[in-house]
Amino acid sequence: MKLTFIGVRGFLLKETIPAIADKKAVKLVTDNSKALMKLQVKSILFRSLISSTIFLSSIVFAEIPESPKPQNQELERIKRSVIQIKVYSQGKDAYSPWLSGGVSSSTGTGFLIEGNRILTNAHVVSNAKYIEGQRNNQTEWYQLKTKFVAHDCDLAVLEAVSGDFYSNSNYLELGDIPELGSPVDIIGYPIGGSKISISRGIISRIEQSAYAHSQIDSHLVAQVDAAINPGNSGGPAIQFGKVVGVAFQASTKGENIGYIIPTNVIKHFLKDIEDGDYDGYVEIGIHYQTVISESHRSFLDIPKDVQGVLVSNVLKGGSAFGFLEKGDLIDSIDGFPIANNGTVEFNGDSTIEFTELIDAKYEGETIEFGIIRKGIRKKVQFPAKKLEALDTLRSRYDYEYPYFSFAGLIFQPLNRDLLESWSKMNQTQGGSQFLYRFHKRLELSDDSEEEIIFYRKLAHPMNSSSEYFLNMIVEKVNDVKIKNLNHFKEQISKGNSKFILIHFKDINIPLILHREEARNAQIEINRLYHLEPK
């Protein structure tokens, strides 16, 4: 599946893309830029996402207790907890990071939970400059402020500036994950009217799937056959008077296919912020295969009767780095046997992907794997931790893109938003290295390094012969290996040598600039293009 925004805040879409056999426990997802598809890089950016195939099956609903429709008194209690949210936002353009975009307005939904907190989606309030909210029984709009945002699981907590907002309000309690085939009520403020809306649907599937907001993260989702329209995002899914999920995205394939964030993800987020900070999800940081041939088993001394998944790569900076090795067969996690398809039996009567057990952990908690390595069975334990390099691959919000301009040449750390903006500007000649280094970021670099790309120039006589190096990754400046953007600035700015030599990866000749002439040119370029000195 690939997940993308439509042009209205508070709504996400889901589309189908081809599947691959190799799974990645970092759960990468990528964007759907038409320009990139024209460049035939669709398979590069989407290789790590596993598409879901929809199966039709018969469900005996009589065996599942039906959630009663809310009675008038109960409905009024719930409605007093649901909030219409208006957001005025302004983002930055990664391609021209010295410029701000226009201010746009959008709407979404939220609801009150214990502690006078408002729960909604992160994508509802991303890049917000001003937020206001109004409950169903109110006539006045109240200013809201963001307290916590989790872009990796598309959740946010807000609070009202004025205590009057909470007058005569109720908070909603969180329930359990809804059962397959059970009905839920989706409550919110979708487009088409100003009043609160309630739609009912059936939970038709529960599985790990991609979250469109960050474009790389994957967590548990519940699919529901209710209409989830723009503006519904952030609204509660109610069952037996309790919240069983948060509406957040919908499908472009098929009718009335929506998705809610289940309560296990919500509770994980709320527990994470108890100490006043959001740390984010941990990542095991491996690629693995679920299909192992007999010849593979024989070569790796894996018994025929042993099930599990085969480690095909271990990523630098991930939890498993230094503990697991390529060729290890993982046959259990925290005592739960792993099947050949990568699932474990959980709660006696259901199966989940083994990565969901990692999703449930917090930074510092122990992961224990049972493995077979070179024919020897052993246990390995290591602490769960974040994979910081993933931030490069995520879509970013509320973010000032760092950049450096010298002689009108614009440099920036490699990131997803830059790649998306760049692909739309028709300046993609020689961009194969850009695409390759982006896709292989986790395997080619460690967490301490940034890859700096020369991706555009502001025309000036000083840089008229620089096109040959466009869209290439910086490697060295005057024989000093570059670690990050600040290091790059330092190497350009210091020194008294007459010339500056910028070396790029996979190119034998450097870009050569006359130091003093380049400095003087940059002063003129700042004035011509209204750049702030960097």
pLDDT for 39-81, tens place per residue?
Answer: 333 333 333 332 332 222 222 233 444 555 566 778 889 999 9
* Confidence at residue 347, expressed as pLDDT on a 0 to 100 scale: 66
User: Is pLDDT of 348 > 70?
Assistant: no
User: Is pLDDT of 354 > 60?
Assistant: yes
Active-site residue 233, yes or no? yes
Greater model confidence, 300 or 514: 514
Q: Annotated catalytic residue: which of 33, 123, 182, 423?
A: 123
Are 394 and 91 contacting, i.e. CB atoms less than 8 angstroms apart? no
Token pair of 271 as six digits: 């527990």
User: Is pLDDT of 268 > 90?
Assistant: yes
Q: Which residues pair with 513 in a beta bridge?
A: 500
Q: Annotated catalytic residue: which of 152, 154, 217, 272?
A: 154
Q: What is the mean pLDDT of residues 210-216?
A: 93
List, in sequence order, every beta strand (DSSP E) within 55-173: 82-89, 104-113, 117-120, 128-135, 142-150, 155-160
User: Is pLDDT of 368 > 90?
Assistant: yes
> Any idea which of 4-13, 248-257, 388-397 has the lowest mean pLDDT?
4-13
> Any idea which of 172-176, 394-398, 429-433, 517-521 has the lowest mean pLDDT?
429-433
Token pair of 153 as six digits: 């699981």
By CB atoms closer than 10 A (0-12, 13-18, 19+), residue 62 is: exposed
Q: Annotated catalytic residue: which of 48, 67, 233, 405?
A: 233
User: Is pLDDT of 286 > 50?
Assistant: yes
User: Is pLDDT of 534 > 70?
Assistant: no
- Going by C-alpha positions, the residue among 281, 243, 50, 32 that lies closest to residue 151 is 281
Are 133 and 109 contacting, i.e. CB atoms less than 8 angstroms apart? no
* Confidence at residue 346, expressed as pLDDT on a 0 to 100 scale: 74
* Confidence at residue 424, expressed as pLDDT on a 0 to 100 scale: 87
* Confidence at residue 58, expressed as pLDDT on a 0 to 100 scale: 26
How does the average pLDDT of the chain come out, rounded? 85
Are 184 and 224 contacting, i.e. CB atoms less than 8 angstroms apart? yes
Active-site residue 154, yes or no? yes
* Confidence at residue 484, expressed as pLDDT on a 0 to 100 scale: 95
Angle at 454 between CA 449 and CA 455, to 5 degrees: 115
Active-site residue 123, yes or no? yes
* Confidence at residue 169, expressed as pLDDT on a 0 to 100 scale: 92
Domains in the chain, start-ordered, CATH in brackets?
Answer: 72-273 (2.40.10.120), 286-385 (2.30.42.10), 402-529 (3.20.190.20)
> Any idea which of 115-119, 321-325, 389-393, 404-408 has the lowest mean pLDDT?
389-393
Greater model confidence, 10 or 446: 446
* Confidence at residue 161, expressed as pLDDT on a 0 to 100 scale: 97
* Confidence at residue 533, expressed as pLDDT on a 0 to 100 scale: 66
User: Is pLDDT of 429 > 80?
Assistant: no
Q: What is the mean pLDDT of residues 374-387?
A: 95
| Banded model confidence at residue 426, pLDDT cuts 50, 70, 90 | confident
3-state secondary structure of 110: strand
Q: Determine the distance from the C-alpha atom of residue 203 to the mean position of all C-alpha atoms in its chain, rounded to a whole number.
A: 24
Unique residue bearing structure tokens 């005996």: 60
Q: What is the mean pLDDT of residues 489-504?
A: 93
User: Is pLDDT of 265 > 50?
Assistant: yes
Are 26 and 281 contacting, i.e. CB atoms less than 8 angstroms apart? no
By CB atoms closer than 10 A (0-12, 13-18, 19+), residue 133 is: buried
* CA 353 – CA 345 distance, rounded (Å): 9
* Confidence at residue 228, expressed as pLDDT on a 0 to 100 scale: 83
